[in-house]
Amino acid sequence: MGKKVLITGSDGFIGSHVTEKLIEEGYDVRAFVFYNSFNNWGWLDTFPKDKLKNIDIFTGDVRDPNGVRKAMEGIEEVYHLAALIAIPFSYHSPDSYVDTNIKGTLNVLQAARDLGTQRVLVTSTSEVYGTAQYVPIDEKHPLQGQSPYSATKIGADKLAESFYRSFNLPVTIVRPFNTYGPRQSARAVIPTIITQLLAGKEEIKLGSLSPTRDFNFVKDTANGFLEIAKSTKTIGEEINIATGEEISIGNLANELIRQINPNARIICEEDRLRPENSEVNRLLGCNKKIKELTNWEAQYSFSQGLSETIEFLKNNMDKYKTDIYNM
């Protein structure tokens, strides 16, 4: 087997794709999944048996330092993706975001320092930048905590930076812009729009239509993690994964309506609007750094990515609740 790696959050959207990619590349994979009494492994439960047999499943909770340390024993590289990510949920339950996103990251960093882990990739988010003060947003852009979620991710990023500077821990902060694709939950805008359309809704309920986003297809994001880990030049760095292109939520919705159900119309629902000063109005990323330090290139066009996403959702509508606001 290849290099021994651990993926936290492997049961989630991006984490399951990173897990899949590493298995395909021949890595020896340990998947850290969130412990629950149902023994549910999230999206890993959908993997075929021949793929699952190549994964060492570890159930635990990143908020517990003992389980994290146990999971990291014998591991050469850690891909830390476990996090709470829904912005609306962070408005009323910020303590859980501090515990998971900040303390969970601290637990990974402390264990890596004590165990001598060779590489640690800490997952950030473009939300740490807040509304663009200039575009394209490079890694030197100011950080702005425009939601409790983004504030905790900023805290986690700074902890990671401090462990690199204080203890020479080989950390890289990986900062994907808005990732979409198969397995994403309906709390995100693309599956929200697509699942409502596929369910035959004539009124597509959304929040603000004017914000713009830089959308990465999930397989390109997963490949970005792998290429960043392969390069020693990325140690101690913050690195965007971005396409360098943006689209407004309104234009995105209209394009999906055109493709799936031209009779549908958009309804802006007040409950889905962020507080005015919390809304991130523009995200357009710069990918110059990742291209300079790694061999990463986006492989999927936006139209290709949307096509794969629509096809996946068509075949998995039973997993989505289209009649409620998914936070």
- From first CA to last CA, the distance across the chain in angstroms is 40
Q: How far apart are CA 225 and CA 175, in angstroms?
A: 10
For the stretch 17-28, pLDDT in tens is 999 999 999 999
pLDDT, residue 205, reads: 92
Q: Are 7 and 17 in contact (CB under 8 A)?
A: no
pLDDT average, residue stretch 194-213:
94
Q: Which of 68, 91, 82 is nearest to 13 (CA)?
A: 82
pLDDT average, residue stretch 233-259:
97
Q: Is 26 helix (H, G, I), strand (E, B) or coil?
A: coil
Q: Are 325 and 272 in contact (CB under 8 A)?
A: yes
Token pair for residue 103?
A: 């303390």
| Average pLDDT value for the chain | 96
Q: Do β-strands 171-176 and 238-241 pair in parallel, antiparallel, or remain unpaired?
A: parallel
Q: Which of 124, 229, 104, 122 is nearest to 178 (CA)?
A: 124
Token pair for residue 173?
A: 């902060």
Q: Are 77 and 49 in contact (CB under 8 A)?
A: no
From residue 227, how far is each of 22, 92, 105, 125, 272 by CA, in Å? 11, 37, 22, 18, 36
For the stretch 215-225, pLDDT in tens is 999 999 999 99
For the stretch 15-68, pLDDT in tens is 999 999 999 999 999 999 999 999 999 999 999 999 999 999 999 999 999 999
Q: Are 147 and 274 in contact (CB under 8 A)?
A: yes
pLDDT, residue 95, reads: 98
pLDDT, residue 280, reads: 94
Four-residue CA torsion sign, 92, 95, 97, 98:
positive
Partners of 77 in beta bridges: 5, 119
pLDDT, residue 190, reads: 97
In which band, very low, low, confident or very high, does the pLDDT at 1 lie, cut at 50, 70 and 90? low
Q: Which domains does the chain have, with CATH numbers?
A: 4-180+216-241 (3.40.50.720)
The reported pTM is 0.96
Four-residue CA torsion sign, 16, 19, 23, 24:
positive
In which band, very low, low, confident or very high, does the pLDDT at 257 lie, cut at 50, 70 and 90? very high
From residue 278, how far is each of 86, 145, 319 by CA, in Å? 13, 8, 30
pLDDT, residue 324, reads: 84
Residue with tokens 């939950």: 185
Q: Which of 251, 244, 325, 326 is nearest to 284 (CA)?
A: 244
- The DSSP string of 253-290 is HHHHHHHH-TT-EEEE-GGGPPPTTT---B--B--HHH
Partners of 119 in beta bridges: 77
Q: How far apart are CA 20 and CA 103, in angstroms?
A: 27
pLDDT, residue 323, reads: 82
Indicate whether 326 pLDDT > 90: no
From residue 48, how far is each of 20, 21, 70, 102, 184 by CA, in Å? 11, 14, 27, 33, 19
Q: Are 84 and 43 in contact (CB under 8 A)?
A: no
Q: Where are the beta strands (DSSP E) in 91-245?
A: 119-123, 171-176, 179-180, 203-206, 212-213, 216-217, 238-241
Higher pLDDT, 118 or 269: 118
For the stretch 290-312, pLDDT in tens is 999 999 999 999 999 999 999 99
For the stretch 117-169, pLDDT in tens is 999 999 999 999 999 999 999 999 999 999 999 999 999 999 999 999 999 99
